[in-house]
């Protein structure tokens, strides 16, 4: 991931490179998110059965998954905050990066505490609003990102 991040920080990415960056991170987190959801489901089942020994072990394992996911999310958010968004010269690029940023803040809300969830929700909302500005100023009639931003905003409130 460091190599991908280094390339992304060096200069503004083309559309294809941006898509590759997005897909790369989605592939990296996909298994972790799936694992977290499965472990959470198993934890609920074990809690309903009253197996406290199993619940404790599951809780520990789930915490490890959460730490790993948080590390990945923090890495991409750090990358997005450092170079691509400030150097993006086209509205489409900024909308892409801000949507990506808001997505990763939203992913953090899936397993954070209530206070941390609210903080991530605020960050998500901030990124969402920032993504609206270039889209409103320079709309592309063939572009569907603005609609996608609305859907993620609705999803955010589902988690919190």
Q: Which residues contact 143 (CB under 8 A, 6 or more apart)?
A: 92, 95, 135
Structurally, the chain folds into a number of domains equal to 1
pLDDT at 84: 56
Residue 66 sits in a domain whose CATH number is: 1.20.190.20
**pTM for the model:** 0.72
At 27-59, the pLDDT tens digits run 999 999 999 999 999 999 999 998 899 999 999
Tell me the HSE value of 10 on the side-chain side, using a 13 A CA sphere.
8
Tell me which residue has tokens 């390339």.
7
Compute the distance between CA of residue 139 and CA of residue 121 in angstroms, rounded to an integer: 26
* Containing structural domain, residue 11: 2-159
At 58-113, the pLDDT tens digits run 999 999 999 999 999 989 988 888 865 655 666 677 778 888 888 888 888 888 77
């Amino acid at each position: 991931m460091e190599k991908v991040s280094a390339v992304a920080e060096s200069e503004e990415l083309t559309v294809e490179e941006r898509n590759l960056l997005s897909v790369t991170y989605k592939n990296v987190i996909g298994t972790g998110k799936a694992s977290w959801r499965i472990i959470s489901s198993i934890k609920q089942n074990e809690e309903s059965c009253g197996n406290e020994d199993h619940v404790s072990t599951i809780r520990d394992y789930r915490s490890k998954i959460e730490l790993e996911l948080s590390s990945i999310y923090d890495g991409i958010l750090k990358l997005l905050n450092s170079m691509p968004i400030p150097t993006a010269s086209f509205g489409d690029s900024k909308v892409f990066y801000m949507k990506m940023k808001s997505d990763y803040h939203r992913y953090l809300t899936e397993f954070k505490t209530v206070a941390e969830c609210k903080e991530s929700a605020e960050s998500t909302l901030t990124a969402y609003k920032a993504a609206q500005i270039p889209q409103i100023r320079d709309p592309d009639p063939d572009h569907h990102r603005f609609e996608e931003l609305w859907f993620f905003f609705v999803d955010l409130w589902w988690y919190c």
